[in-house]
Amino acid sequence: MLGRINHIAIVVPDIAAASKAYRETLGATVSQPQTLPEHGVTVVFVELPNTKVELLEPLGEASPIAAFLAKNPDGGMHHICYEVADILAARDKLVASGARVLGNGEPKIGAHGKPVLFLHPKDFFGTLIELEQV
Amino acid sequence: MLGRINHIAIVVPDIAAASKAYRETLGATVSQPQTLPEHGVTVVFVELPNTKVELLEPLGEASPIAAFLAKNPDGGMHHICYEVADILAARDKLVASGARVLGNGEPKIGAHGKPVLFLHPKDFFGTLIELEQV
């Protein structure tokens, strides 16, 4: 079921400072910040040769990552996104195995414009897993 | 400086159960467990098409990941390992930028038999970064 790792998401308190650290200190290729008000985040893409890291800063009052940052004020690794070929087939297999899908169980359109689902971290040893149909 | 993501490390409390979940529930290719007493971990490799996830369970009394698991009893994402071409050049550039290298600042031989360094998570927004010379 799991395909490529599409991205690793890291929540940061200050995306300008984090972009500078990844670009200048770590010497990575870093995009300009993009504000995604409908997803409650500002995102910067750190492009690596085989995948990417997404730096996320909360945007707006209802940001879905605000609680994570309140609990982890320095920031931290937030989730791993795996690509799947068929998100409904993946969802059905997962639910049949007893895994819990967050929200109402239906895929939503994610920040990349593609269908995504999140799996309950308690079912995967503390790791929040996003599945994205590509 | 940063090359490929070599692996994402996830600490788990029960590597047999985690292996089963990644193999059976998530449908990934998962290695047999390997005990690495000199590194204080048992490791399982989850092979993805573009990189790998390493599931780590503490091994022995002095395991370097025991404190993380005590703080995160369910488990959680522990570090990201990036490949670099020249770890001493990377270290010198990082130190000149004010970043802190953990330990005595000298590369150690990591679990893959190659020189590695860890960077202080406070300098990188709560993310523990490993650099591995490949």
B130 is a catalytic site residue: yes
In this prediction, residue B82 carries a pLDDT of: 98
A11-45, pLDDT tens digit by residue?
999 999 999 999 999 999 999 999 999 999 999 99
Distance CA A60, CA A36 (A): 10
For residue B99, what is the DSSP state?
A: P
Q: Which of A75, A99, A127 sits opposite B10 (nearest CB)?
A: A127
Q: Which of A12, A28, A98 sits opposite B2 (nearest CB)?
A: A28
Are A74 and B121 an interchain contact pair (Cβ–Cβ within 8 Å)? yes
In this prediction, residue B111 carries a pLDDT of: 87
Does B104 score more than 90 pLDDT?
yes
Are A53 and B80 an interchain contact pair (Cβ–Cβ within 8 Å)? yes
B50-103, pLDDT tens digit by residue?
999 999 999 998 999 999 999 999 999 999 999 999 999 999 999 999 999 999
Is the backbone of residue B76 left (phi > 0), alpha (psi -120 to 50) or beta? left
CATH number belonging to domain A5-133: 3.10.180.10
Report CA Rg, chain A.
15
A45-94, pLDDT tens digit by residue?
999 999 999 999 999 989 999 999 999 999 999 999 999 999 999 999 99
Beta-bridge partners for A103: none
Ranking A108-112, B21-25, B121-125 by mean pLDDT, the lowest is A108-112
- What is the ipTM for the molecules in this complex? 0.96
Specify whether the CB–CB gap between A81 and A72 falls below 8 A: no
Reported as a pLDDT band with limits 50, 70 and 90, residue A111 is confident
In this prediction, residue B79 carries a pLDDT of: 98
Give B37 to chain A, closest Cα distance, Å.
23
Are A124 and B21 an interchain contact pair (Cβ–Cβ within 8 Å)? yes
Q: What are B39-43's contacts with CB under 8 Å, separation 24+?
A: B39/B64, B39/B110, B39/B111, B40/B64, B40/B65, B40/B66, B41/B65, B41/B111, B42/B15, B43/B15, B43/B111
Q: Which of B17, B74, B124 sits opposite A21 (nearest CB)?
A: B124
Are A2 and B48 an interchain contact pair (Cβ–Cβ within 8 Å)? yes
The 3-class SS string of B35-67 reads EEHHHCEEEEEEECCCCEEEEEEECCCCCCCHH
Which run of H or E residues covers position B6?
strand B5-11
Kindly list the residues from chain B whose CB atom is less than 8 angstroms away from the CB atom of residue A13: 125
Distance CA B121, CA B49 (A): 28
